Structure 1
Amino acid sequence: MVEDILKALGIQGEQSGVSTGAYWLPAHGAIITSVSPVDDKKIAAVKGASREDYDQVVATAQEAFKEWRHWPAPKRGEIVRQIGEALRQHKEHLGKLVSYEMGKSLQEGYGEVQEMIDICDFAVGLSRQLHGLTMHSERPGHRMYEQWHPLGITGIISAFNFPVAVWSWNSMLAWVCGNVCIWKPSEKTPVTALACQRIVDTVFAANKVPEGVCNLVIGDRDAGEWMSHDTRIPLVSATGSTRMGKAVGAAVGQRLGRSLLELGGNNAIIISQDADLDMSIIGAVFGAVGTAGQRCTSTRRLIIHESVYDAFTARLVKAYSQLRIGNPLDQHNHVGPLIDKAAVNAYLDSIEQVKAQGGSFLVEGGVLSGAGYESGCYVKPCIAAVENTYAIVQHETFAPILYVMKYKTLAEAIAMQNDVPQGLSSAIMTLNLREAEQFLSHAGSDCGIANVNIGTSGAEIGGAFGGEKETGGGRESGSDAWRAYMRRQTNTINYSTSLPLAQGIKFDF
């Protein structure tokens, strides 16, 4: 089956990991072998980029930008519309490949491709709305306005957990804004990147898009560092851990470039005494175990009112006992594997830290073995009773470990929710209007995303996505996130017969 998927997506044998859209260039770096966490089988071998390969791609991208920026934005939008149609045609195969290479459930794999389609639709409309403002001048016979211009090359560094969707969030907006893109995908999921590049190649070739508008550089950590330090790339959008983001932000900032950072989350749901517990269970369980806890928006903490704590945790334990863990391509399973053995070891280490710091487990964790679990990457989602102040709770654990704790007052709950270094997503489950509004107020959640009666995971592309504090402060996807990919220019036109100065300054001679 996997061979059929690869063939349908144009992937066979050893692949070059360097492309400028129109051409797949010979790669001279190390071979990266993609192995599925589902069954520990090799998917494909990809030849990574050398520094010389990377420099060739950047030079081609620079030349492409000179032409691409002159294409009218609606025409660029039409290209993106066709990409969306191509993704619709390949949704089944690409969704299965996402699931198999990354390990997320098949429904989530399909959902990730749907996100790509949705952002294409959004970007098409955006291509006719890249608007500035007009302002009244204090000087007679003058007109002031602002306009937005493309930046140039957008560098995109994406993470394994959303191997294609986050790339599309950036690239589709960057393209309609008139930028060209260079994508450095996670070395853990290179094959899905190859598939996306081939899909876009076909659309670009049919429309005679210049070589170098869509570029792919597959490589290890070095490739991301080349991009971060490269003054030819004005914007670097990076998704990953806070540690990685700090390194990227420092490198880009040192050269006074721009960075768009989407980093770690430590997301909490407050379960009020006025919550609909049936609804809350669904939101909490999906948020905690979806993608095996490997989403930046995964629910890490449940802050539960003391009056419903026992009843809710009992229902939670029962729900966990009904989870089906196994091959994510089987749609009956809820939870797939972690990405690799290193992730499994980090999961086990976190469990030991919970115990050492005084926590106890309502649902025990562990690694699964036996038939169907040969890859060694399948683990049990677990639930730990903890205090919010534990060092391990303050850390983002990228695994299906859910921390539960009690609160007495809403003010206490909000303080606990905010008392972590990260600030991505948050939620409250309550039917109490006052509680909901307090949670959303300036004195409420300090996260970039705050939901009421919705879990922390599963954002729509229409809203800007991103967070505060150690989450990086970036915004991607919807709303006015497009502005990050453009430069603002203020223009003043004098159509009078004199030259008055601003602020009434006189300069006569």
Structure 2
Amino acid sequence: MFFYSKIMYPTFLNMHMLQRNISYYTPLLNRSLHLLRDQAYINGKWIGGEKNETFPIYNPVNQSVIKNVPDMDVKDTRLAINAASEAFKSFSKTTAKERSDLLRNWYNLMVEHTEELAEILTKENGKSIAESKAEIKYGNSFVEWFSEEARRIEGTILQTPISNRKLLLYKEPIGVAALITPWNFPHAMITRKAAAALAAGCTCVIKPSEETPLTALALADLAEKAGFPHGTVNVITTSLKNSPNVGRELCENPNVKVLSFTGSTAVGKILYKQSASTIKRLCLELGGNASFIVFDSANLDIAVQGAMLSKFRNCGQTCVSANRFFVHSSKFDQFIEMFLSKIQSDIKMGDGSKKEVTHGPLIKESQLNMTRALITDAVEKGAKVHCGGTPLPELGPLFYAPTLITDVTKEMQIYNKEIFGPIAVIHKFETENEVIENSNNTPVGLAGYFYSQDISQIFRVAKQLEVGMVGINEGIISTAEAAFGGVKESGLGREGSRHGVEDFLEIKYVCLGNLKYY
């Protein structure tokens, strides 16, 4: 099993969306990063693995080693699960107010340390410091939201068919939550899951991606400072070698009651099978293949701006990234021209720690090789490259130029594949029915986007798109207040919103009989 994860996260790129009093283009400082940890966090202690093995975390800009962290195995994982299970006995009995206060403390510390968290994120992920700060703000918003939502978890008193009974529904925390998170948004995907679990009264074992564990460890450091009891928040670090066995243990260990995973559909299916032995609750946020439709009534200025945000944030390495562009024939040429101009004027690639840089490298060599192979295959079969289409070795080993291609046909590998790279594939269409059919012609359904000024068309198309989330005249749609998740093979459950705690709660029905009222 390969924990090659793909996820969605909505980067807020406008200056006014960033944390209060934080400069959008502040360069990385040459100072000590106090939150940069090189040990795992289990039961309130910073420890190495039992075998004392480590693995390196590389900076994707230049492949330099940032830190070496513990390479933990199944035995270490069981230690973390047992710690979380023991802590659950008391943490599950805390009041909603107590949990709310702890989460608020955690949130306040994240806000206070935004600058340092963003620096660590940029170092291990490669995205620009501006994007990192935006992710920190976005991730923090979930902790803030669930600190408030903790006090809104309520049961129900039911109407009874028999006069001497009372029927009650209690909502109770389910138990230990295993959280497997991806590399492309290492802060936001942890906070979106962990904050919901902790708000419900669950304890957590967090397994971050082997590419980006340093952000997770920094969050654990702040959770410790926020006052979370020992064993409530645990972070285990594992290399690619140990990830399959650790993942299996999280799925099959009976003390883990719920598994929340963000990643590829292929890996999600493996976890689904492995969790069957314990009938474990699952929350799966899996891959997408988002269409981006520009109808003939669309405002092209708005559509192009949305295309830039949806396609190229994090170099296209998001599962709600616009993956298949469909532009009405009457707007096709103009859209291509405007989109190309925007790519050339707005994107500045390089080391994300530099203030002028907007986009960094891909995360690892396999991503670069996949991106290069897709373009090579498409060009050999007749696709037209309007810009990009090549690596940028002069910037570093993992840089790939933002690319726009047309004339893509069904025979090409890229035609209906989730690209997960900085490639915009633009198709032409004629009718509404045609483009809806093409948009839905995929086994996944996470997000979809379309642009139209026709109000009747807006309601028709929004209803017919087979996705869990629809952006209409918007390229950035996720927020803590809204339910995030997909349909078909894009997963199970929802994250964020008031629904985000539901996967971490059990409903207990209590029937009180033979009551005497008079």
1:394 pairs with 2:416: yes
Whether the 8 Å contact between 2:43 and 2:83 is mirrored in structure 1 is no
1:433 pairs with 2:455: yes
Whether the 8 Å contact between 2:120 and 2:215 is mirrored in structure 1 is yes
**CA distance, structure 1, for counterparts of residue 77 and residue 118 of structure 2:** 29
1:166 pairs with 2:185: no
Equivalent residue letter for 1:227: L
Offset, 1:243: 1.2
1:271 pairs with 2:294: yes
Offset, 1:93: 0.9
Partner in structure 1 of residue 443 of structure 2: 421
Whether the 8 Å contact between 1:28 and 1:47 is mirrored in structure 2 is no
Offset, 1:26: 3.2
**CA distance, structure 1, for counterparts of residue 30 and residue 71 of structure 2:** 24
- Structure 2 regions of 5+ residues with no counterpart? 1-26
**CA distance, structure 1, for counterparts of residue 33 and residue 298 of structure 2:** 49
**CA distance, structure 1, for counterparts of residue 258 and residue 485 of structure 2:** 17
Offset, 1:417: 1.3
Whether the 8 Å contact between 2:177 and 2:256 is mirrored in structure 1 is yes
Is 350-359 or 96-105 further displaced after alignment?
Answer: 350-359
Equivalences for residues 18-57 of structure 1 within 5 A: 19-29=41-51, 30-57=53-80
1:218 pairs with 2:218: no
- Structure 1 regions of 5+ residues with no counterpart? 499-509
Cα deviation, 1:279-322, whole Å, max 9, x if unaligned, reads 11111012111101101111111111111111111111222222
1:235 to 240, 251, 258: 258
Partner in structure 2 of residue 380 of structure 1: 401
Cα distance change, pair 330–87 in 1 and its aligned pair in 2 (3 A): same
Higher relative contact order (CA 8 A, sep 6+): 2
Cα deviation, 1:160-207, whole Å, max 9, x if unaligned, reads 001111111111111110100000000001211221111111112xxx
Cα distance change, pair 484–389 in 1 and its aligned pair in 2 (3 A): farther
Equivalent residue letter for 1:430: S
Equivalent residue letter for 2:290: N
Q: What RMSD, in angstroms, separates the aligned Cα atoms of the two structures?
A: 1.9
Cα deviation, 1:105-162, whole Å, max 9, x if unaligned, reads 2222111111222112111211111012332111122222312110110000000001
Is 459-468 or 80-89 further displaced after alignment?
Answer: 459-468
**CA distance, structure 2, for counterparts of residue 388 and residue 70 of structure 1:** 56
**CA distance, structure 2, for counterparts of residue 146 and residue 391 of structure 1:** 51
Equivalent residue letter for 2:158: M
TM-score (norm 1): 0.91
**CA distance, structure 2, for counterparts of residue 4 and residue 28 of structure 1:** 34
1:483 pairs with 2:483: no
State the SS of the aligned residue for 1:464.
Answer: coil
Equivalent residue letter for 1:340: K
Partner in structure 2 of residue 330 of structure 1: 354
Cα deviation, 1:315-359, whole Å, max 9, x if unaligned, reads 112222222111122232222100011111111111123235543
Whether the 8 Å contact between 2:103 and 2:195 is mirrored in structure 1 is yes
Equivalences for residues 491-506 of structure 1 within 5 A: 491-496=510-515
**CA distance, structure 1, for counterparts of residue 433 and residue 412 of structure 2:** 20
**CA distance, structure 2, for counterparts of residue 311 and residue 461 of structure 1:** 35
Partner in structure 2 of residue 146 of structure 1: 169
Cα distance change, pair 320–7 in 1 and its aligned pair in 2 (3 A): closer
Cα distance change, pair 71–389 in 1 and its aligned pair in 2 (3 A): farther
Partner in structure 1 of residue 433 of structure 2: 411
1:353 pairs with 2:372: no
State the SS of the aligned residue for 1:491.
Answer: strand
Is 98-107 or 423-432 further displaced after alignment?
Answer: 98-107
State the SS of the aligned residue for 2:132.
Answer: helix
**Paired residues, number:** 484
1:288 pairs with 2:311: yes
Cα deviation, 1:204-227, whole Å, max 9, x if unaligned, reads 2xxxx4310000111131322221
**CA distance, structure 1, for counterparts of residue 161 and residue 483 of structure 2:** 35
Whether the 8 Å contact between 2:374 and 2:413 is mirrored in structure 1 is no
1:452 pairs with 2:475: no
Equivalences for residues 82-231 of structure 1 within 5 A: 82-204=105-227, 209-220=228-239, 221=243, 222-231=245-254
Offset, 1:276: 0.7
Partner in structure 2 of residue 248 of structure 1: 271
